[in-house]
Structure 1
Amino acid sequence: MSNIKAALLPAACLYMLAASPLHAETLPPRNECAADPAYFAFEQQLRQAVAERNPAQLLALVDTSIKSSFGGDDGIEEFRTSWQLDKAETSPIWLELERILALGCAKKDGYAALPYMFAHMPDRYDAFSSFVATGTNIVMREGPSRDARAVARLDWDIMTQVDDGEATSEDWVKVSSTVNHNVGYVHKSLLRSPIDYRLIVQPVDGVLKIVTFVAGD
């Protein structure tokens, strides 16, 4: 299988290819790309483009045939338009990239995947109903409110969504921790799905480029 085809595999297939971390119930971010000079340099260029809100610098890192949706048009012009890169300061892509860059990098055979969790989520977890608590000391609460009693503290726990028919706030997700099996509510801003936005970087004609930037499966 070519590197390009491997990079574009659906999320479920990538999980099967990925080796499970040592402690499967938590998934803290790691930067496996830092040890590779080429990928490290690419990451620094990407960080600079994001920090400066510089569309030209970002687009220079993007492959002309980038995949940026499922079922839609691909290519750099569609990427530019869909992310409103003509509005440099207000494009929503900067916040998405900031979140991704804060969550590590996985180095695979011939490509890199950001965030780290995308390539290392154990395949026994369903991609559509699992989350990772994105930080340490995150509070799980008894109800969908910041005033609700704390049930547990989470440190990069892998969570599974609980669908018991109870009505809940759109800002909160009812989840069960795979570490201690506590059940409670976590604010959705503190959770990330493994199939949320991710980017794939790999060589194109010998030059590292972003070849995929998508969410979903």
Structure 2
Amino acid sequence: MTLALRMIAGAIAPMALAAPAAAEHLEPRNACSAMAGADEFRMTLVTAVANRDAEMLQTVVDPDILLDFGGGSGWREMRARLDAADYRLWDELDTVIRLGCDRAYQDSLVMPYYWGQDFGDMDAYGTYIVLGADVPMFATAKGESRIARLRWEAVEAVGFFDMVEGNREAPLWEVQTRNGKRGFVDHTLLRALVDYRLIAEQRDGGWKITTFVAGD
């Protein structure tokens, strides 16, 4: 796949990358083991990231890796961003690995796990993943009157564009579940659907990370 095609593939909404299963409970899991060589790839990646070993990491990175939609690409640029304060890609890789692995379009391997799921008509920009199995939802922005408990699921931010303009620092964000329930959730337990994701593809008989981007 050319760099231009990878940019298109990375930019399209998650539902276009989806496996048939609908996105319901999105607990991190490894659904990649059935793919030949995937476990070995993941072990190398996990070891490299845990030890902050750039040389080992390079062995599973495509030389032309896509890093953003503004022209950032290639191993040299990725190496510079691993520790850079503006990117901290070591930390981002660590987070993505912990969120599981799934099989997606054209037999690609994707992390986090939920990037292989179907989010239907949910707005990619305003969708967040609840990070936890017992996350309380409150009736008010002050955290009063718990009305539900959420479990590793996708929710949509209410008034998303207003939130972007000035309310992102509020402790609790108003969200709506897929069944229409509205309430307020601790924003530190929400991860944007379009936050960092990793795509790996078969290259020369082994898996290589061809995309590691955030945004859409």
User: 1:67: which partner in 2?
Assistant: 66
Once the two structures are superposed, the pairs formed by residues 122-133 of structure 1 within 5 Å of their partners are 122-133=119-130
Q: From 86, 90, 96, give the equivalent of 1:94.
A: 90
| 8 A Cα contact 1:7 1:111, kept in partner | no
User: 1:110: which partner in 2?
Assistant: 107
User: 1:150: which partner in 2?
Assistant: 146
Hey, what's the Cα distance between the residues in 2 that align with 1:114 and 1:98? 11
Q: Deviations over 1:150-200 (max 9, x none)?
A: 221001122011118688461432101114x32122222211222110011
Q: 1:207 to 1:7 in 2, by over 3 A?
A: farther
- Higher fraction of helix: 2
The total of aligned residue pairs comes to 209
Q: Deviations over 1:63-90 (max 9, x none)?
A: 11111111133111111112327x9xxx
Q: 1:7 to 1:14 in 2, by over 3 A?
A: farther
Hey, what's the Cα distance between the residues in 1 that align with 2:117 and 2:15? 7
Hey, what's the Cα distance between the residues in 1 that align with 2:58 and 2:49? 11
Hey, what's the Cα distance between the residues in 2 that align with 1:127 and 1:13? 6
TM-fit CA distance, 1:136: 0.3
Once the two structures are superposed, the pairs formed by residues 188-199 of structure 1 within 5 Å of their partners are 188-199=187-198
TM-fit CA distance, 1:101: 1.4
| 8 A Cα contact 1:11 1:195, kept in partner | no
TM-fit CA distance, 1:11: 4.3
Hey, what's the Cα distance between the residues in 1 that align with 2:38 and 2:59? 15
Q: 1:150 to 1:13 in 2, by over 3 A?
A: closer
Once the two structures are superposed, the pairs formed by residues 133-148 of structure 1 within 5 Å of their partners are 133-145=130-142, 148=144
SS at match of 1:9: helix
Hey, what's the Cα distance between the residues in 2 that align with 1:73 and 1:3? 15
Q: 1:135 to 1:11 in 2, by over 3 A?
A: farther
| 8 A Cα contact 2:14 2:118, kept in partner | no
Hey, what's the Cα distance between the residues in 1 that align with 2:72 and 2:17? 27
Hey, what's the Cα distance between the residues in 1 that align with 2:42 and 2:2? 19
| 8 A Cα contact 2:46 2:97, kept in partner | yes
| 8 A Cα contact 2:19 2:103, kept in partner | no
TM-fit CA distance, 1:53: 2.0
Structure 1 unaligned regions, length at least 5: none
Hey, what's the Cα distance between the residues in 1 that align with 2:69 and 2:2? 19
Hey, what's the Cα distance between the residues in 2 that align with 1:49 and 1:106? 20
Residues 1:206 and 2:202 aligned together: no
Question: What root-mean-square deviation, in Å, do the aligned CA atoms of Structure 1 and Structure 2 show?
Answer: 2.7
Q: From 108, 116, 119, give the equivalent of 1:119.
A: 116
Hey, what's the Cα distance between the residues in 1 that align with 2:117 and 2:56? 29
TM-fit CA distance, 1:8: 5.1
Percent identity among equivalent residues? 32
Give TM-score scaled by structure 2 length. 0.83
User: 1:16: which partner in 2?
Assistant: 16
